[in-house]
Structure 1
């Protein structure tokens, strides 16, 4: 199992962390609002008291995360600033960027063509850290339903991607590698596509994208 730190304690952090604890991973929750992170840790311990998970610890914002994998669970508008503030505290870590980069009404991306939020985060991270884009194509409330889902991910480092793939599998999800970190731009586009699908074709946000392999 993996050792995972979550920076941020919003809905996506809650959904992924709950599945991580249930999957037997070592989980640390970190946020500027210590009370909110502590409340989330308490909720996870209560919700999973009868399951295989052992709850989560609470870390200190800005210090070296305990986890080898760091889930950056903050909005893209603050993600680069958070990574910059952490600086060398993220050296050697695998950073999972789960952010989406749509504009306020989710009709377009705020990142220009040829780049992505994940690539901008990678520029701000220490050279020894490895950024992997993942989870941005799944709604948090759908993750919380506990169903098996597909998680698309992208990154440049093979070892980091293998570790992230193992982590995703521990959540009861299917990891699907889409290529190098340059593909994060298109994953962020898929996140935008999912919003459009939920609003129009599906008519519900209780929807997920999946891949069928045809024999």
Structure 2
């Protein structure tokens, strides 16, 4: 059984918790009002807005050493909703990995909506979590927990692929915000 600590208990944090708990993993939540909390999970999911990553790494960086840290953020410019706010040759996950050099940083869940994690489907297809990262064991740990919870998982490559995952997340969010797709839909991987 894998233990998870999830920062954030909004729609995404709750949906991810539901999936991994359904597979037998234990879950604890840390929210923005939890100061000085202890991070007990082997896998730490940062289900928070992109700007919150800086405060989390500053406050909990030492506790995250040696842990699998999952970045689900989409670093959008929420004022204009027309661009990502990280350099074109980088990603939020790459920035997080630089801030947490002793952690095994993964990018995952940013191309999923909470509703599709909850229903475990996108249209007629099983919901798929794309996982990018440089540590194969960390990716397998997350994939196994997700699959045990009834959602598919696919290795999307190295952490360098986080940039493309963030671009897909950005496109999906802008389509939903523009009411071109529903928040209960999204991109599906058909294999």
Answer 1 or 2: higher relative contact order, Cα 8 Å, separation at least 6: 2
Does structure 1 residue 140 correspond to structure 2 residue 118? no
Matched residue SS, 2:51: helix
Instruction: Kindly state the Cα deviation for residue 83 of structure 1 after the two structures are TM-superposed.
Output: 1.4
**Kindly tell me: are residues 89 and 109 of structure 1, through their superposed partners in 2, closer, same or farther at Cα, counting changes over 3 Å?**
same
Instruction: Kindly state the Cα deviation for residue 173 of structure 1 after the two structures are TM-superposed.
Output: 1.1
Instruction: For 1:186 and 1:62, locate their aligned partners in 2 and report how far apart those are by CA, in whole Å.
Output: 34
| Corresponding residue to 1:151 among 118, 129, 137 | 129
Does structure 1 residue 16 correspond to structure 2 residue 26? no
How many residues are matched?
Answer: 186
- 2:7 matched residue in structure 1: 7
Q: Mean Cα displacement is larger for which, 186-195 or 167-176?
A: 167-176
User: How big is each residue's C-alpha offset from its partner over 1:48-98, in whole Å with a ceiling of 9 and x where there is no partner?
Assistant: xxxxxxxxxxxxx44441110001111101112211211211111000101
Stretches of structure 1 lacking an aligned partner (at least 5 in a row): 35-60
TM-score (norm 2): 0.89
Larger Rg: 1
- 1:170 matched residue in structure 2: 148
Moved over 6 A (4+): none
Contact 1:106-1:195 within 8 A present in 2 as well: no
Instruction: Kindly state the Cα deviation for residue 204 of structure 1 after the two structures are TM-superposed.
Output: 2.2
Instruction: For 1:166 and 1:62, locate their aligned partners in 2 and report how far apart those are by CA, in whole Å.
Output: 30
Stretches of structure 2 lacking an aligned partner (at least 5 in a row): none
Instruction: For 1:62 and 1:157, locate their aligned partners in 2 and report how far apart those are by CA, in whole Å.
Output: 28
RMSD of Structure 2 on Structure 1 (CA): 1.8
User: How big is each residue's C-alpha offset from its partner over 1:35-57, in whole Å with a ceiling of 9 and x where there is no partner?
Assistant: xxxxxxxxxxxxxxxxxxxxxxx
Spell out the pairing of 1:92-111 with structure 2 (5 A cutoff): 92-104=66-78, 105-111=80-86
